Amino acid sequence: MNTILDILGASVIGGLVILTLMVSLNNTAETNRALSRNLSLQQCVGTIEELFLYDTATAGRGVPDSVCSIITADSDRFVFIGDETMDEVIDTIAYYTEYAGNDTLIRCRTSSGQIITLGEGKVQFRYYDTGGRVTISLLAIRSVDITLCLRDILESFGNRSRAFLQKRIHLRNIH
C-alpha cells in the first residue's frame, strides 16, 4: 500500500514539475518571439532613417536657384525635388502618412511613381529656417525634424511593439 502511495505521489510531483517546465518554456518562447519582432521593428526604423537621409541629401541637387526645391511641407507630408540619381533628371520624392481604414501607413512615392509602404505607424514633420525657428514658408525651410512612430502589426500578450525615431536633418542643397 505504501509503495502504491509513493508511486502515486512521485507521479503527481513529476507531473507538476513537467507542467511547470512546459509553462516556463512556452513563456520563454513567447518572450523570444516578442523580442525578435521588437528587434526587427527597430531595424526597420533604422532602414527608414537611412532611406530618408539618402533622399533628403538629394533634395535641391541639380535644381536651379530660381525653383523652390520643396513642393509640400505639411505636418504629415514632405514632398521635394532633386537629382537623386545624378542623371540630370529632376526627381520628385514624397514621404507621407496615409490613413487606410483602421491602419495608418507610412509611405514613400518615388519619382517613377512607385509607392513604397515603409511600415504601419505615423510620421510627422516640423520645418525650421536658418535661425532654428519653426517655419511654414517653403522658401525659408533649411532643416526638417522627422518624428517617426512605427508599430508592429502582430500582437504579443495584447500589446504591440513600437519603435520611435526623432531626428533633425539639415537640407544641404536647398538654396
Q: What is the pLDDT of residue 127?
A: 95
Q: What is the pLDDT of residue 104?
A: 80
Would you kindly state where each structural domain of the chain is located, as residue ranges? 29-170
Q: What is the pLDDT along the chain (175 residues), one digit of tens a residue?
A: 778 888 888 899 999 999 999 999 999 988 888 888 888 888 988 988 898 888 888 888 888 888 888 999 999 899 998 887 778 888 888 998 888 777 788 888 877 778 888 888 888 999 999 999 999 898 899 999 999 988 887 665 667 778 889 999 998 887 6
Q: What is the pLDDT of residue 73?
A: 92
Distance, CA of 53 to CA of 41 (rounded, Å) = 18
pTM: 0.76
Secondary structure (3-state) at 163: strand
Distance, CA of 122 to CA of 175 (rounded, Å) = 29
Distance, CA of 21 to CA of 41 (rounded, Å) = 30
Terminal CA-CA length for the chain:
95
